[in-house]
Amino acid sequence: MAKIPLYVITISLVVGLGSFEFGFGSAVFVASLGQPGFYMYYGLDPTAKHTADIISAVNGLFYFGAAMGSLSQSWFADRWGRRVALAVAAIIALIGSALVAGSVNIPMLCVVRVLQGCGLGMLLTLVPLYLSEVAPPAQRGLLTGLSVLSFGLGYVTCSWMSVGCYFASNLTLSWRLPLALACVPPFPLLFGLRFVPESPRYLAWRGKLEEAWAVVQKLHKDKDDPNQEIAQAEFTQIVRQVEAEKEDQATFITMFKKPSWRKRSLLAFFITFAAQAAGIYGITNYLPVIFASLGMTGSMPLIMYASHTTVGTLAVLLSIVIVDKFGRRRLIFVGYISLTLILLAEGLLQWKYVGTDDKAGNAACVLFIFLYIIFFQCVDAPAFIWIAEAFPTHLRAKGVSLGIFALFVGTITFSTPAPVAFSTIGWRMFMIYMALSAISAVITYLYLPETKGLPIEEIGALFGDEVVVHLTQDGHGLVEDKSIQVDHREIASESATAAEKV
């Protein structure tokens, strides 16, 4: 693997703080569900159906706000740039998090979680959008995947902090402190954005070619390339492709009118919605409750939840390290096949052992919940990467918005009813998730094209768009070859071979 310039790594880590804030901010409420002080403060009975309904409503409203934020960011990102949009999102998330931490009753908590969700939804959309536009083709999967890794690190930080807070003598502090600490990550992000450049592709799209060239030079600064041949080739390709597409009017409506855009849009909606249909939030948002149903008491459900998020984040790291070698499509397909088998096993185990004293059976239930989060990362990170790189520059902000919007629609659809569903139909929920995962595996195999290794300007060829100019294999030059055809159903290895022939 070619080395990644330190400058690119630095700005990627700074921007990744946006995903960290989403992970932390969305996890704090989940963690609060494991704190006795939360239920005491709001006068709720943890075992009552009324409480389950309230939890569903608060979570549903948060993801509604996130869905609205994911759509609205495209206007900011296209009109004012990726950097300004990130700053606006961080400020909204900061205000929302502060109000959540200060909530004094359930109605207030419901309202301000919408605002917090809006800011966090914007951040989760903008981070992969920006990272895909500054990453070199060979490492785009790794760098764009940092958005999911940072998300996971936010979850891990919050979950282990909540374990510590469980032992606080002040029961209000035990759940309100993590909520308040969600206000911290936006500050280093806002400070760091002062040193982060605007996306060169956005600048070129807006006709600011001198600024775009200056950024591309920084992104490709390499002592082994003193003549900056790679930077010159990529800059030329960016400018020519943007100019060729400049007259296209990009709206959410036209995204579904032009055939090549419609293919991208439908697949972007599918790829993130399907991940939620596999039950990720329906399961993880209520893990403390699920672990309690398996006989765990006291702090143990929170400890197991924190361990679960840690294992999942380590799996994300492995996923983004190998995604540029194995491909997005292959990992997603393997992920869905694995999830189908794991969910089947989990459902059968819970059917047989939940409510019993069989320690081996309950331990097996826990094992498969951990296997679930490991193999889910074969789906999650590649999905974020795919939607961020599949669209042309003038459509990318809206395309990523659509994908993340679908993620939150799926989250609302499959996680909001989860507490009631798990309390009524129990293990059968895993069978529903299993069936949906199997369907997703089939659709992925048949229709999802491989995008690994291709310069982002050349991905349009996978959907039937014209690519004005191609980079040579070593990235130092350009080739004008409009005869290249790409089969939408090719396997990853065939796609890589086609890319090497360019």
φ, ψ of residue 471 in degrees (nearest 5): -75, 145
496: in domain: no
Residue 478, beta-bridge partner list: 471
pLDDT by residue, tens only, the chain of 502 residues: 568 889 999 999 999 999 999 999 988 887 777 788 888 999 988 878 888 788 888 888 999 999 999 999 999 999 999 999 999 999 999 999 999 999 999 999 999 999 999 999 999 999 999 999 999 888 999 999 999 999 999 999 998 988 888 888 888 888 898 899 999 999 999 999 999 999 999 999 999 999 999 999 999 887 777 788 888 999 999 999 988 887 677 788 889 989 999 999 999 999 999 999 999 987 876 677 677 767 777 778 778 888 999 999 999 999 999 999 999 999 999 999 999 999 999 999 989 887 787 888 888 988 999 999 999 999 999 999 999 999 999 999 999 999 999 999 998 888 777 777 777 887 898 999 999 999 999 999 999 999 998 999 999 999 988 888 888 776 667 777 544 444 433 333 333 332 333 3
325: in domain: yes
Cβ(383)–Cβ(400) below 8 Å = no
Cβ(41)–Cβ(175) below 8 Å = yes
Give residue for tokens 């983004």: 320
pLDDT of residue 486: 40
Residue 357, beta-bridge partner list: none
| Dist CA 36 CA 108 (whole Å) | 20
Please name the amino acid found at residue 170.
N
Q: In sequence order, what are the residues at sequence separation of 6 or more whose Cβ sits closer than 8 angstroms to the Cβ of residue 23? A: 150, 151, 152, 153, 154, 155, 156, 157, 158
| Dist CA 411 CA 405 (whole Å) | 10
| Dist CA 84 CA 8 (whole Å) | 19
Cβ(166)–Cβ(306) below 8 Å = no
Question: What CATH code is carried by the domain that includes residue 179?
Answer: 1.20.1250.20
pLDDT of residue 481: 55
| Dist CA 372 CA 343 (whole Å) | 7
478: in domain: no
217: in domain: no
Question: Two tokens at 106?
Answer: 């359930």
CA distances 483 to 135, 363, 497, Å, are 27, 57, 16
| Dist CA 50 CA 290 (whole Å) | 18
487: in domain: no
Percent helix, strand and coil across the chain, each to the nearest 5:
75, 0, 25
| Dist CA 373 CA 316 (whole Å) | 9
Q: CB burial class (10 A; 0-12, 13-18, 19+) of residue 487?
A: exposed
Cβ(449)–Cβ(495) below 8 Å = yes
Question: Two tokens at 305?
Answer: 């939840």
Question: Two tokens at 442?
Answer: 């089939």
CA distances 39 to 32, 46, 418, Å, are 9, 7, 19
State the total domains in the chain: 1
Residue 471, beta-bridge partner list: 478
Paired sense of beta strands 478-479 and 470-471, if any: antiparallel
pLDDT of residue 426: 79
pLDDT of residue 474: 66
120: in domain: yes
Closest CA to 19 of 296, 366, 407, 476: 407
453: in domain: no
| Dist CA 159 CA 298 (whole Å) | 15
Provide the angle, in degrees to the nearest 10, between the axes of the packed helices 6-32 and 106-134: 160
**DSSP string across 7-76:** HHHHHHHHHHHHHHHHHHHHHHHHHHTT-HHHHHHTT--TTSHHHHHHHHHHHHHHHHHHHHHHHHHHHH
In angstroms, the first-to-last Cα distance of the chain is: 19
498: in domain: no
Give residue for tokens 């998330």: 93
Range of the domain at 425: 6-203+248-447
| Dist CA 426 CA 415 (whole Å) | 14
| Dist CA 69 CA 127 (whole Å) | 13
Full-model pTM: 0.88
